[in-house]
Structure 1
Amino acid sequence: MSYNEAETRFWLIDPVLRDKGYNEHWKLKLETPAPVEPTGSKGRRRSGAGRTDYLLCVQVGDMPKPLPVAVIEAKAETEDPLKGMQQAKGYADCARFQVQYVFATNGHRYGEFDKPNQMPNGPFPFPEFPTHDDLTARYAKDSGVDVTKPEAAMLFMPDSAAFPKTRYYQDAAIRAAFEKILLCEQQSEPARVLLSLATGSGKTVIAANLLWRMHEAGRLTKPAHFLCDRDELREQAWDKLAKAFPKGSVRIVKSERGKNAAKNAKVHIATYHTLGLDDPDQNYASFLTEYYPKDSFSVIIIDECHRSAWGRWSEVLRRNLSAIQIGLTATPRELHESEKKTAEDAEITANNLAYFGDPVYEYRLIQAQEDGYLAACEIVRLKPSIDWKTFTREEVLAAKPIDARTGLPVMAENLSETYTAKAFDNALILPERIAAMCQDLFRRLCEHGGPEQKVIIFCTRDLHADRVQMQMQRLYAAWCKEKGVTPKEHYAFKCTAEGGSDLIEQMRGSGERCFIASTVDLLATGVDIERLNAVVFFRYLESAITFYQMVGRGTRIHEETQKYKFWLYDYTGVTELFGTDFISKSLKPRVKKPRGGEEGGDDSGGEEDPLPLPEIVGGQPVSITSQGRYILQRREGRDVPI
């Protein structure tokens, strides 16, 4: 009677591996949670186990942690070891686990895929499988990393005791970063590393363990610096890094009694604002230059580097050219040449790729959903009837527009020639449109879990966010009155640069208050709200980078409330940006267009201009029509709603 897969592993494979010098600690078993499915209002996790993979590791001397170099797949005794070992699968597994080889065996013969040659080989007799020493030497040759040198010790260091159970992709990302650093150092080149992982995948944990392992390997001869652009990101970094390192080793950069509070810390956490990097009236970074001489840091990690490392902010990088510089981002790496591109996207992409090089490791949203680490996504596409219309100046004048801010009449000279849908709520306020969209959204929330859900609504500008917040609050108050229930505190609130950020923590932590946040850009990146049930687009977008960051707000799973799915309500067609490929392209500098033109609604960022903001009150009936429901999947290497 022939052996099945498990029996083949136990009786035929493991004994040979032991004879070849691989002990039990050098065979790493990896298990993922069961995948999630977008069933019902909150989704569900499939019953049973997730995926199980086995990595084969090598060990150098008495280093505390073995180094994964290969995937080894066991097959039933009667199966062909080359079955399923296509080039695409082999390459994908190598990239996914950051290894050089994929082996498959039925206990008698084995086949392999090696990353350097990018092709399957075999079958070979399994007793001829490479010994531990042979595979170690082969890895060093194929990867270019001399694992015997002291500099390579960080590859073999354990994770911090605070985060000992890292997910497979987190460890893979750290190893990929270390390998790039070692190769750069061996070639006497500046070490520049880019990691691209989906929002919610734990990039801050990666940063914490990466720095800890470098510290344990003696690589932090000077302080490390974690650089971000928002207070919320700084606090999240502090939470993870302070747990990873001993007390007092991690400090937030700030002035205390005329001194740098982080002076003696091993890891310094700062925002650009703290360093004086965002003051347009200064030609230098005051805090940075006062307290940090050139080459003060051994490692710099730039969080959300897709938007943060350039312009005035890059001064901290230029002053530390000898430091290892690592960029973290969730944004797809290249922007496709299409009508969806913007000049800002192209500049960001070009800067990242030119400075850091291609990402050494990527972990996409769909892969994380298949692994059961991130929530599934159900897309609901909707369209306001009025968005098919173009308003002329004469039509707007005939409606007797008033300034939405002052209530004063708007004159013809302050109006654009035409107003298309992308101008609505940015350059032309249509109260009936706002009311219809809010009414439709509130109804859908009631149908799929009730109105008391955690929701972010992305609006066009600050005034638009105000109107949306008020409308959602009115709808909720009416619902509470009809149902005879007591309204919850701060049901709807605005969270923009003008205020409301103090309620983010309550939205994150409480199930009893702060449900609906209307925002422009403030919640677009870096804010972890695991409870978030829906992401809503009331604004038009052309930037795929911005879009992916905003979508990422809903991707986290919340086990306590059994949230395994988030809803994406698209009222403006932004989900067409899913699947956008990213390539670098040099574009001419963007010219600001008049309000009301086709370029509106993408990058106002809530900034108010001094011109009157026309509002048409009455006479504009609006209905919302469904454009279908979709599930986000991965097809032929692209994110596709199907």
Structure 2
Amino acid sequence: MSKKQLSERDICTKFITPALQQAGWDITSQVREEFLLTKGRIIVRGRLHTRAQHKRADYVLFYKPNIPIAVIEVKDNNHIIGAGMQQGLNYAELLQVPFVFSSNGDGFLFHNKIAADGLIERELNLHQFPSAEMLWQEWLAHKGLNTSGQQYALITQDYYSDGSNKVPRYYQLLAINRTIEAIAQGKQRILLVMATGTGKTFTAFQIIWRLWKAKAKKRILFLADRNILVDQTMTNDFKPFGAAMTKIQKRQANKSYEIYLSLYQAVTGTEEERNIYKQFSPDFFDLIVVDECHRGSAAEDSAWRQIPEYFSAATQIGLTATPKETKEVSNIDYFGEPIYTYSLRQGIEDGFLAPYKVVRIDIDKDLSGWRPDKGMVDKYGHEIEDRIYNQRDFDRTLVLEKRTQLVARKITEFLKQTNRFDKTIVFCENIDHAERMRQALVNENADLVTQNAKYVMRITGDSEEGKNELDNFIFPESKYPVIATTSKLMSTGVDAQTCKLIVLDQRIQSMTEFKQIIGRGTRINEDYGKYYFTIIDFKKATELFADSDFDGDPVQIYTPKAGELPVPPEIPDSAMPENDFKYPQLATDFASTGINEGEEGESIRRYVVANIEVSVVAERVQYFDVHGKLITESLKDYTRKMLVHSFASLDDFLRCWNSAAKKQAIIEELANEGIFFDALAEEIGRDCDPFDLICHIAWDKPPLTRRERAEQVRKRNYFTRYGEQARRVLEALLDKYADEGVTQIEETQILAVSPFTQFGTPIEIIRAFGDQDHYQQAVHELEQALYSI
């Protein structure tokens, strides 16, 4: 067979892999074929979703399993040798490796970003492929790293593997390697910024494991601010440390372990004797890792800050999804600039994080304010201060009970229209508000609460019953609780993989807190159908999307009109008003007493008013496409625009469609651009083939159903030129097309199911056409007959 007739994979097998083996590469440990880099952004249309095209490198070469060093992109021999270079450079940029190779099987085009002689690209014969050691030594020299001693042992130390051949994601590898190299070069303060849900704790474990195994760091302290975070870490990611690991508790310091995990509250205190960390000598720990470091260690007077300052000789790593930068507080001031950042936007773009829709609901009293009548008292007999109360006051200094009931009703309406057992977190202003919201949601969902009282629960810091149910809320296998009302407790560190609805009835002006709350929903869990989530915003918190510091756009923003359901429609409105929202300082989370602590620390009474009517003013919508660009047209208009962009004319589309070996390839390519054929068929109201949907939407051709197309073929006596058995098979294929579509009949596996089994085995059926090629030709001609009508 001519090389020109070989597929891309054939070129890899027959030419590229042998060239690597000849150059001394270990195929089992240093060469990974079809290496998945990204999963492809999840695209959401209405209640449907699909994924954009993933990024998969033909080859990624590793010096050691934890050190990627080069990318090879391969094309078939009908392409020139450098045809894959630009694609390979894209992959190399993700992996941040300097060496890229492109090949068509004749040789290699070698791109060397760090070439000492300045010649970045050159052609190589197949037998000239460089060895792993050659590339590695050149890269080490470029980085200024030693090739022997403790530094070299550290940077080449393997990460932990459970034997499953699972490799950390590309950005986790980068974060791990960047950190290890920085420590090897003597850097003492390191900041890693990784969006919630991207595996910060797993990344921290791999960093610690390599440092520990290489004996570069012998005693390590891992600090977190929530007990559940410490317990989850020990049980899950840190489990391989086994007996070398302990949790500091009961204010006892056992110095016989190597890996220590602790709440920062457990090792600090106002009294000197409560400062357990001082039971350790200042040089006891070699490494301190501070998880969620935005929450405390950034402030000079914070409790966390005492610990790293006491162990100042230790290498210290801060982990956060949201680096805090204000006039008063700075992570960078202590840790320095982030050594690596993996943002929420990048995580969504890569398909590792769930995108989200936003439903904005404006309540009349929030917008216009409310003023009591002179001398008016609240339900407890307290005279209400005479002033205008607005959104800033509600549920903090003033409670409108009917407002709480309205919010609970809108949440319930949404769940009734989607799924009443979707895990939901309702963020409230304070503990008192969380309890009142729990009561209102119980009344709105009385039927389900009667079946199980844990359907709605308040999970706040003061509620032992609620905190005891936090694990059940988090675990996908646990049905209850379904709805959790909270204030601050669940805003960070809670790994709620199946949370599909986040409700913001809390005034949020801190970008750090906003990103942390959004992070509760960004995890994907395909086993439980969690691919995206929805935010319902009652307090204009999502105005922070307009802030330049926000790095992850929603796929949709929807504001229903009064009386409309809070579920986004399939066809969006045309625009969204401009934002002129200002960002005052974040308020404090208040206690659940009748007397409320104000922003300046003074005591303020919280008034409770029972009979003031409130109503929804508006609810608005925006869609974002696969590239994060705003869509302001209908789904049909958007589809038409995408099709016209892909095909110059109807004739151009017909040529492409009819020449395609498999129609499924075109359908998948268009789906990756965000075209949802099922949703379009539902909108048009006919059981149409993608072919008809495309022709109808882009070029106004009358659409035929699949069954109408099948009947047209039958009327033409199309099958008379075939023998009896072949004719029966083609008629059955035509029926399958009418029922299930063209992609089903293109696969030979269909011959192994009913009704084809009554015609014989797949091999016997194919023989009725002569051979495999003639069978495929018959199917292709059947498709031409279908689409020539």
Bigger Cα displacement from structure 2, 423-432 vs 3-12: 3-12
Change (3 A) 1:101 1:307: farther
Of the three residues 461, 473, 479, the one matched with 1:497 is 461
Residue 506 (structure 1) aligned with residue 485 (structure 2) = no
Q: CA RMSD in A?
A: 3.4
Q: Mark the structure with the bigger radius of gyration.
A: 2
Q: In structure 1, what is the equivalent of residue 621 of structure 2?
A: 628
Letter in 2 for 1:430: L
Q: What residue number does 2:32 align with?
A: 28
Is 2:204 the partner of 1:204?
no
Separation of aligned partners in 1, 2:546 and 2:158: 37
Indicate the residue corresponding to 1:390 in structure 2: 369
Cα gap change, 1:354 to 1:611, in 2 (>3 Å): closer
Corresponding residue for 1:173? 175
In the other structure, the counterpart of 2:21 is 18
State the shift of 1:152 in Å.
2.7
Give the match for residue 250 of structure 2.
255
Task: Quote the residue 2:657 is aligned against.
Answer: none
Paired position in structure 1 for 2:588: 604
1:366 positional shift: 4.0
Q: 1:193 is paired with a residue of what secondary structure?
A: strand
Relative contact order, higher structure (CA 8 A, sep 6+): 1
Deviations 1:613-636 (A, max 9, x none): 123332333125221154586649
Residue 529 of structure 1: SS of its match in structure 2? coil
Question: Contact 1:35 / 1:45 at 8 angstroms: preserved in 2?
Answer: no
**Does the 8 Å CA contact 2:290/2:318 hold for their aligned counterparts?**
yes
- Residue 8 (structure 1) aligned to one of 5, 11, 18: 11
> Deviations for 1:52-95, whole angstroms, at most 9, x for unmatched residues?
45322225xxxxx46212233223334356557569x94x6455
Does structure 2 retain, via aligned residues, the 8 Å contact 1:381–1:627?
yes
Find 2:59's aligned residue among 54, 61, 66. Answer: 54
Deviation at 1:402, TM superposition (A): 2.0
When residues 399 and 622 of structure 1 are mapped into structure 2, their CA distance, relative to the original with a 3 A threshold, is farther
Work out which of the residue numbers 290, 305, 319 in structure 1 matches 2:293: 305
Name the SS for the 1:55 alignment partner.
strand
Q: Does 1:427 pair with 2:391?
A: no
Aligned to 1:340: none
Bigger CA drift: 106-115 or 542-551?
106-115
TM-superposed CA distance for 1:461, in Å, is 1.7
SS in 2 for 1:69: strand
Q: 1:590 is matched with which residue? A: none
Separation in structure 1 between the aligned mates of residue 115 and residue 315 of structure 2, nearest angstrom: 26
Structure 1 residue 410 and structure 2 residue 383: aligned?
A: yes
Equivalent residues of 1:242, 1:249 under 8 A apart: no
1:292 aligns with 2:259: no
**Alpha-carbon distance change, 151 to 373 in structure 1, aligned in 2, over 3 angstroms:** same
Structure 1 18/535 Cα, relative in aligned 2: closer, same or farther at 3 Å? same
Alpha-carbon contact 2:425-2:501 (below 8 Å) kept: yes
Say if 2:111 is the partner of 1:112: yes
Cα pair 2:354 2:523 within 8 Å, conserved: yes
Q: Is the 8 A contact 2:52 2:626 kept in 1?
A: no
1: CA distance, partners of 2:45 / 2:284: 53
Q: Which runs of 5+ in 1 are unaligned?
A: 60-64, 336-342, 584-596, 637-641
Tell me the percent identity. 25
CA distance in 1, matches of 2:52, 2:509: 39
Cα distance between partner residues in 2 of 1:614 and 1:231: 34
* 1:5–1:75 Cα contact (<8 Å) kept: yes
Counterpart of 2:489 (choices 500, 513, 522) is 522
- Does the C-alpha gap of structure 1 residues 137 and 420 become closer, same or farther in structure 2, counting only changes over 3 Å? same
Closer/same/farther in 2, CA of residues 158 and 33 from structure 1, 3 Å limit: same
Q: Which among 321, 337, 344 is matched to residue 330 of structure 1?
A: 321
- Could you tell me which residue of structure 2 aligns to residue 455 of structure 1? 424
Tell me what 1:594 maps to. Answer: none
Indicate how the Cα distance of structure 1 residues 226 and 628 shifts in structure 2: closer, same or farther if over 3 A, else same.
same
Give, in angstroms, the shift of residue 13 of structure 1.
2.7
Q: Which whole-Å CA distance do the structure 1 matches of 2:47 and 2:99 have between them?
A: 39
Partner amino acid for 2:32? Answer: L
Q: Counterparts of 2:294 and 2:114 in 1: how far apart (Å)?
A: 29
Q: CA offsets per residue over residues 359-414 of structure 1, 9 Å max, x none?
A: 222223344344443333222222223322134xxx234482427xxx231353xx
Mapped partners of 1:178, 1:293: distance in 2? 25
Which residue identity is paired with 1:22?
W
Per the alignment, residue 144 of structure 2 pairs with 144
Contact 2:368-2:390 within 8 A present in 1 as well: yes
SS at match of 1:318: helix
Q: Which amino acid aligns with 2:587?
A: D
For 1:273, the equivalent position in structure 2 comes to 265
Q: How far off its partner does 1:493 sit?
A: 1.5
Q: In structure 2, what is the Cα distance between the partners aligned to 1:542 and 1:464?
A: 18
Structure 2 stretches lacking a partner, 5+ long: 551-580, 598-602, 630-637, 639-789
TM-score, normalised to structure 1, is: 0.80
Give the AA of the match of 2:102.
A
Report the CA distance between 1:306 and its aligned residue: 1.6
Residues 437 and 624 in structure 1, CA contact (< 8 A), matched pair in contact too:
no
User: Which piece of structure 1 moves more, 305-314 or 622-631?
Assistant: 622-631
SS where residue 123 of structure 2 aligns? Answer: strand
Q: Deviations over 1:447-504 (max 9, x none)?
A: 012x222100111122211111111111000x44xxxx95223121112222121210
1:380 aligned partner, one-letter code? V
Amino acid at match of 2:267: L
